[in-house]
Amino acid sequence: MGLLSFWRNRLLTLATTIIIVLALFIISVFAFATSVANRTAAILRDKVDLVVYLKDSASEDQINALKDIIGSRLETKSIKFVSKDEALERWKTNHADNQDLATVISETENPLPRSFEVKTNLPEEIKTLADYVNSEDYAPLIEKISYEQTKNLVERLVKITKFVKVVGWSLSLLFVLISILIVYNTLRLTIYSRSDEIEIMKLVGASDYFVRGPFVVEGISYGLSGAIIAIVIFYFFFKFSIPFAQNYLEVQDLKDSLEVNLWLIIGMQVVIGVILGALCSLMAAKKYLMITEKK
């Protein structure tokens, strides 16, 4: 009877299903955006670092002392010293496709500076550490700091993460509440339109659970149909948005790592849709039965 009512009230069913689809799609999009932001943060933490280039006049003792000072900072996750020879090897590797450029620097005449590659615990801590190292106390040892080259990338990452967490989940909660109200009122209208049937069932001794059963099935049908449509839409959204996200964020390792998240989000859509429909139907039926018992 619940499935029959679901099909019979096609216009009402369509309107309710569309609201559920919108809610589930919005939730999925921001869950996906959160996954992208978190995964991008993990990837960029391995790529974004602070490079401190040292002057050739700095002695080994001074370099070791500076390394200990930077390494003892709370912001520092790791620090690596890059010698002139290692810098030269990297130069040759990076320009392997251009032999003229690769061989322009030789071991006997190597102008590449020694450096420290410093990784921080959080991307936003790079600025704090850069400001500390860039003080006048260490000016005689330091040629330059590469923080400015990574500043925009760090700021973009921080802004994206904050936007997703604050705005995204706020909108998701709003749409869930709207969906609950719509589904709840839709099922209330359905229940009131069948008040005569319910009264007859109660007169012949039907229990409250038996009366609620068809409405629970109808509510689950709303949620499940909305979830299926939302899954189809979100699947295509996922496939088309991944290349855009990779290009915009300049990260090429997103797709494979987010495949697991795709199935988790799809499962979440089904669970939320079914729970939403079942909960609203139970609430609406319980409310109606309480009112009829008082009469």
pLDDT tens for each residue of 120-151? 887 778 888 888 988 888 888 998 888 655 66
With beta carbons less than 8 A apart as the criterion, state whether 215 and 285 touch.
Answer: yes
CATH code of the region 49-122: 3.30.70.3040
Q: Give me Rg for the CA atoms of the chain.
A: 31
In this prediction, residue 3 carries a pLDDT of 46
> pTM for this one?
0.60
State which amino acid sits at residue 74. L
With beta carbons less than 8 A apart as the criterion, state whether 215 and 223 touch.
Answer: no
In this prediction, residue 115 carries a pLDDT of 92
Both tokens assigned to 208: 């409250």
Residue located via tokens 């039965």: 289
- The crossing angle, in degrees rounded to 10, of helices 10-47 and 254-294 is 140
Given strand 115-120, what is the order of strands in its sheet?
A: 76-82, 115-120, 50-54, 142-145
Where do the domains of the chain lie? Answer: 2-44+154-294, 49-122
Residues 6+ apart with CB under 8 A from 174: none
- Which has the closest alpha carbon to 280: 226, 223, 201, 231? 223
In this prediction, residue 116 carries a pLDDT of 92
In this prediction, residue 2 carries a pLDDT of 43
Ranges of residues in the chain whose predicted pLDDT is under 70: 1-13, 41-42, 44-48, 99-104, 106-107, 147-158, 164, 190, 193-202, 206-209, 211, 249-257, 287-295
- Which has the closest alpha carbon to 206: 277, 285, 287, 294? 285
In this prediction, residue 280 carries a pLDDT of 78
Both tokens assigned to 62: 């001074």
What whole-number distance in Å separates Cα of residue 173 and Cα of residue 231? Answer: 19
CA distances from 56 to 49, 111, 115, 140 (A): 22, 9, 10, 10
Residue located via tokens 């999925």: 28
